[in-house]
Amino acid sequence: MSSTPDALLRQWFREVWDEGREDAIDRLVAPGSKVFGLSGPGGPAVLGPSGFKPVFHMFREALGDLEVIVERTVVQDDMCVAFCRVKGRHVGHSFGGEPTNRPVDFTGMTMARVGGGQLLEGWNVFDFLTMYQQIGWVGTPVLPSA
């Protein structure tokens, strides 16, 4: 098990997202965990490993060549915030539309509380608008002139 909140969160992104290891979810997510920000702002929490696995499958099916780069972290006590860059290619149907095979490159942040070598709580904010613009589902708005 990882010894620090920073090491655990980095292990999470490497094993679950980069390597696609579903077994890591059972090992790294506490049974009573709550993860917020995966179903939209103000949406319900995802509970435990079994609640997280559908999210895992959706993203892994939709985005091929998925890589989450942890650019920097900030740790305070049992909390760690990771600023991440997500890269991949839109190859699957699980976002609700036809795959475009276009590359995506967007950023986001995760804040996690850890204990006993597992993730206990998580809050996620990722720039999915940019991702949808990159795959061509949402147009880029015209910026107001000065």
CATH fold of 5-134 reads Nuclear Transport Factor 2; Chain: A, (3.10.450)
- Please report the pLDDT score of residue 142 as a whole number: 80
Is it the case that residue 2 has pLDDT exceeding 70?
A: no
Q: Are 82 and 68 in contact (CB under 8 A)?
A: no
Q: Which of 9-13, 36-40, 57-61 has the lowest mean pLDDT?
A: 36-40
Q: Which residues pair with 104 in a beta bridge?
A: 88
| Mean pLDDT value across the chain | 93
pLDDT, residue 41, reads: 66
pTM of the model: 0.90
How big is the chain, counted in residues? 146
pLDDT in tens, 69-99: 999 999 999 999 999 999 999 999 999 899 9
Residue 132: which residues within 8 A CB-CB, separation 6 or more?
138
Per-residue pLDDT band at 44 (split at 50, 70, 90)? confident
- In whole angstroms, what is the distance from residue 90 CA to residue 2 CA? 32
Task: Give bridge partners of residue 119 from the DSSP assignment.
Answer: 29, 114
**What's the CA gap between 65 and 117, in Å, rounded?**
28
Residue 31 has, within 13 A of its CA and on its CB side, a CA count of 0
Give the span between the Cα atoms of 83 and 95, in whole angstroms.
23
Residue 32 to residue 39: CA distance in whole angstroms: 18
Judged by phi (left if over 0) then psi (alpha if -120 to 50, else beta), residue 3 lies in alpha
pLDDT band at 38 (very low <50, low <70, confident <90, very high): confident
The residue ranges of DSSP E strands in the chain, in sequence order, are: 29-36, 46-47, 63-76, 79-90, 103-115, 118-126
* pLDDT for the residue 40: 66
